Structure 1
Amino acid sequence: MQIWHVVLLTIVLMFVLLAIRVPVGFTLGISGALGLTLLHGTGYATNTLGSVPFANSATFTLTIIPMFILMGMLAVRANIAENVFAVANHFVRRAPGGLGVATVMACAGFSAVSGSSIGTAATMAKLSVAQMRAAGYPASLATGVVAIAGTLGVMIPPSTFLVLYAVMAGESVAQMLAAGILPGLLSAVGYIAYIMIAGQRQVRRTDPAELEDAIGDAQAELRTKRIVGRSAEAGAAGDRTPGGTAGAGGRGSGGTALADPVAPHAGRTRLRSLPWRGVVHIAILFIVVLGGMYSGFFTSTESAAVGALAALIILAIENRRGGLRGIVRHFREALLDTAQTTSMVFFVVIGSAILSTFFVAAGVTRAITEWVGSLPLSPMLVMAILLVCLVPLGMFLESMSILIITVPILYPIAEQFGFSGVWLGIMIVKLIEIGMVTPPVGILTFVVSGITGVKPEKVFRGVMPLLAIDVVTTTLLFLFPAISLFLPSLVQR
């Protein structure tokens, strides 16, 4: 059997296994193992299967991944997303498309501590979709905003995808994380601009009082819990009414946090009563992780561990009223979720290492590099064509598998043409973001659909206009690499 027959058979097997829902890690490993067996025999394949998984997973740099995942899981249980959403709502509630803008801002803020797109989308779907629906947003727009803003989790550091790319490509983890900041913020600004200019026209106009009620809903539960606790400590439990909490800044019945229009200091009271601790907690984690890394106090791996420790302290502070048992329960749940996610990631890493070994042994990477180099096209055009090919891949493959399959092929080509490996990583991750919300797979759209009960086709309909913003952002990042490379240029490898 000729080599190209073996390569074709391996690729077909990989797509068949993915189509029948075999886990990605097993799919990549089985395909690579079969290819190695057909190429060099059983002995070579078994030796490879015995050495490659250990060599590619026993890397100290990879310990940053479970630490970042743990930090994100702890941040979820510390109610950081809820608090940030409440603060963002307060300041942009009167702007056009205010709730949608607040959702994007909260997603960007929470991405800075979670590092997970799925976690960000799932959390914000629970918090903001119902509020937007109550304020007159159509279901497609409300869910589409959450799904597209959730993609910021793979770009804004700490990002598991950026770390994994850095390890695979041999780039600096610190530089890759720095490179994700400006593209992530640029994407967020683009989403906000669309919501304020075009998206808000779809919002059904409601009575101002009803709109104010809808905006305050995200804050009501948090404030009610805090006020109830303070009242109990002051011995004033009997002053609470059945429909809500009296006093405390003139909040009305039903627990809705509305300023009393006749109280002279109501605005200031409400501003002081906002859950600013969520913003403070994000700032603390961001400074601990990135500040510690770039100042030289910690290595990238150490900064992730210290960030997880800081998140644990924040979790304990936020859940202190539940006692030690409540804190331990939240911590245990975070550890279990971290173990599950980490296992999935490392399964994919090991499977991709086996498949990549096959591609190298079959000469696929070398052949593609030589073929691309011989094309009578400019290097910029060649890279544009190769990167655009990631979009259809994103329509059918899981996001992490795209990253792991394409990096060993695209990185040597970019290196040969003289492109920055850091810039290439940002472009790949940005296109993976698009794949996360592109039909028919679009994992984030199904996550939002499952949580909100809105049909997937409606979520896709809401995402499509926002994808145009992503196309513009991606084009800017491609044509102006300085956007991605400015901050990394200030960071040592």
Structure 2
Amino acid sequence: MQIWQVVVLTILLMLVLLATRMPVAFSLGAAGGVGLVLLQGTDYATRTLGSVPFSTTATFTLTIIPMFVLMGMLAVRANIAENVFAVAHHFVRRAPGGLGVATVMACAGFSAVSGSSIGTAATMAKLSVEQMRQKGYPPALATGIVAVAGTLGVMIPPSTFLVLYAVMASESVAQMLAAGIVPGLLSALGYVVYIMVAGQRQVSRDHEDLDGAIGEARSELQDKKIVGRQRAASDTVTASRPRVRSLPWRGVAHVAILFLIVIGGMYTGLFTSTESAAIGALAALVILAVENRRQGLRATIRHFRDALLDTAQATSMVFFVVIGSAILSTFFVAAGVTQAITEWVGELPLPPLAVMAILLVCLVPLGMFLESMSILIITVPILVPIAAEFGFSGIWLGIMIVKFIEIGMVTPPVGILTFVVSGATGVKPETVFRGVMPLLGIEAVTTTLLLLFPALTLFLPSLVAV
């Protein structure tokens, strides 16, 4: 059997296994194992299957992943998302599309401590979608905002995706995490602009008419009272101050503390990336204890235990996918697929940037059928050598890969975040997809800017101590 036939057969086997709903990790590993047997024989495949899982995961840098996951799980149980959302909503509630803007701001803030797109989308879906619908937001717009804003979890540090890429591409984890800040904030700004300019036009005005009627009734009652304007104004000012002071500012403070520990520690060189993740997890545990002090020690221990269980589950999933993808990647390397693609791309009569853009766009249809982390681990060994051949920065490439994976996470028919939001809210997936589509246009604009102006991505990493 010729090599190209073995490659085609292995890819088909992988797709069949995925279609039968076999777990992604086992589908990738089984396909890669069969490919190695057909390519090199049983002895070589046995040796490879015995060594690759250990050599792939026995990397000290990967210990950062369970620490980031634990920090995010603890942050969820410390009600940080609810507090950040409340503060954001207070200050933008009178702006056009204020509730949607607050949702994006809360997603960005919570992403800075959770590092999980799925966790961000699920949490914010429960917090904000029902409120938006009560304020006249169509179901498609309300759920679409949460699904797309949830993708910030894989970009804004700490991000498991960025850590995995840094390990696979032999890049600095600290620089990789710093590189995600500007693209993440740029994406959030794009969503906010869309909601304020276009999205708010879709909001029903019925509730505003009711608010207006209530306001008029209150004005009539106030006119009947013998109260001077100065006293009324003074009372208004006095009443507004406690509202601001009574906001749950501790949520914003907790986000700032965790973000400064993780990013500030690495930015200054005070901590290594692994140390900053561990200290961040410890700080999140302290925040959890403070937030639950009135519920008693038992409640804190229960939340901590649940966070540990969820962390173990998430970490196991990540490492199983890493092992399965490593086996498949080993097969691709042994079959010469990576080298063949690099040589073929190098001979294309196109500018290097155009070639990279085409290859990156191919990640979007992959995201329609494959799980996002699998795409990252499968494509990195192929794209990194090509980018190096063309002289592109590995840090910039990582951000672009994650950016296109973001788009795949909300693109039909798979779009995992759309199903997360659908499951959390009871809204049909097709309705969520309908709300996502206009926001994908904002993603296209943001991605184009990052593609054409690499300095947007590389400025902060250049200041980080390696």
TM-score range, shorter chain: over 0.9
| Aligned equivalent of 1:4 | 4
Whole-angstrom CA distance in 2 between matches of 1:51 and 1:69: 27
Q: Match of 1:265, SS?
A: helix
Per-residue CA deviations over 1:346-376 (Å, capped at 9, x if unaligned) read: 0011111111111111111111111111112
Matched, 1:480 2:459: no
Match of 1:399 in 2: 372
CA distance in 1, matches of 2:269, 2:447: 32
In the TM superposition, what is the alpha-carbon distance from 1:206 to its structure 2 partner? 3.6
The alpha-carbon distance between structure 1 residues 206 and 36, as it changes in their structure 2 partners (threshold 3 A), is same
Residue number in structure 2 paired with 1:436: 409
Give the match for residue 289 of structure 1.
Answer: 262
- Contact 2:360–2:401 (CA<8 Å) still a contact in 1? yes
Cα distance per residue 1:197-256 (max 9 Å; x no partner): 0000000114459669xxxxxxxxxxxxxxxxxxxxxxxxxxxxxxxxxxxxxxxxxxxx
Q: Residue deviations 1:7-49, cap 9 Å, x none?
A: 1100111111111111111111101100110111111101001
Unaligned 5+ segments in structure 2 are 213-232
Aligned to 1:23: 23
CA distance in 1, matches of 2:330, 2:163: 21
Give the fraction of aligned pairs with identical amino acids, expressed as a percent: 80
Letter in 1 for 2:257: I
TM-score, with length taken from structure 2: 0.94
Aligned amino acid, residue 273 of structure 2: S
TM-score by length of 1: 0.89
**Equivalent residue letter for 1:47:** R
Alpha-carbon contact 1:396-1:441 (below 8 Å) kept: yes
1:351 aligns with 2:324: yes
For residues 413-436 of structure 1, give each alpha carbon's deviation from its aligned partner in whole angstroms, at most 9, with x where no partner exists: 000010000000000000000001
SS at match of 2:368: helix
Pairwise mapping of residues 210-225 of structure 1 onto structure 2 (< 5 A)? none
| 8 Å contact kept, 1:33–1:354 | yes
Query: 1:143 aligned to 2:116?
Result: no
**In structure 1, distance between residues paired with 2:303 and 2:245:** 28
Kindly indicate whether the alpha-carbon contact (under 8 Å) linking 1:157 and 1:178 is maintained by their aligned counterparts in 2: yes
**How many angstroms apart in 2 are the aligned matches of 1:185 and 1:312?**
27
Structure 1 residues 442 and 210: CA distance shift in structure 2, 3 A: farther
Tell me if the contact between 1:135 and 1:211 (Cα under 8 Å) persists in the aligned partners. no
Q: Among 290, 293, 315, which residue is 1:317 paired with?
A: 290
In 1: Cα distance, 2:73 partner to 2:386 partner: 37
Within 1, Cα distance between the matches of 2:356 and 2:5? Answer: 27
- Output the CA distance in 2 between the equivalents of 1:485 and 1:211: 48
Distance between the aligned counterparts of 2:45 and 2:390, measured in 1?
A: 33
Contact 1:135–1:210 at 8 Å: present in 2 too? no
The aligned amino acid for 2:455 is: A
Q: What is the rounded CA distance, in whole Å, between the counterparts of 1:189 and 1:203 in structure 2?
A: 20
Matches within 5 A, 1:47-446: 47-208=47-208, 263-446=236-419
Mapped partners of 1:286, 1:334: distance in 2: 19
Q: Using the alignment, how far apart are the partners of 1:172 and 1:339 within structure 2?
A: 25
Task: Please list the CA deviations of residues 391-441 of structure 1 after superposition, one character each: whole Å capped at 9, or x if unmatched.
Answer: 111111111111011101011000001000000000000000000100000
The alignment of Structure 1 onto Structure 2 pairs a total of residues equal to 446
C-alpha contact (below 8 Å) 2:268/2:465 kept by paired residues: no
The one-letter code matched in structure 1 to 2:131 is Q
CA offset at residue 492 of structure 1? Answer: 3.0
| Distance in 1 between residues matched to 2:237 and 2:67, nearest whole Å | 48
The alpha-carbon distance between structure 1 residues 211 and 392, as it changes in their structure 2 partners (threshold 3 A), is farther
Give how far 1:123 is off: 0.3
Distance 2:353 2:210 in 1: 53
Runs of 4+ displaced beyond 4 Å: 207-212, 260-264
